[in-house]
Amino acid sequence: MFLAFGFGLSAQVSKPMLIMEETGPLKGEAYGYTHPLVYDWNKDGKKDLIIGEFEAKGKFRIYLNVGTDAEPKFTDDWFYGKGANGNELFVKIS
């Protein structure tokens, strides 16, 4: 899995790494079309993991970082991204 740090044209791509949840490796969807990135989703100062899903028609999963930026930790819990109005957010798939 590769991670892109931040949004926009200046995103940096990391070397491949294994990202663990509590019960094992974090897995993308079956087709492997995920596009993970890290971004402080909940504005707590720690970078969270965001994974786009092709099969879910443009939705993206949010895994909150319960560790630190230096040693991130993710639980098995995730949720689909939602806007300020509570509606699910989608990325246009063309």
How many independent structural domains does the chain possess?
A: 1
In percent, the amount of the chain with pLDDT more than 90 equals 18
Whether the Cβ atoms of residue 63 and residue 28 lie closer than 8 Å to each other: no
Tokens 């819990």 sit at which residue? 77
Query: Domain span at residue 93?
Result: 1-94
Question: Residue 73: which of 81, 82, 64 has the closest Cα?
Answer: 64
Tens of pLDDT, residues 49-67? 988 776 667 788 899 999 9
pLDDT classification of 41: cutoffs 50, 70, 90? very high
Tens of pLDDT, residues 20-29? 778 877 776 6
pTM, two decimals, is: 0.70
Would you state the pLDDT for residue 25? 76
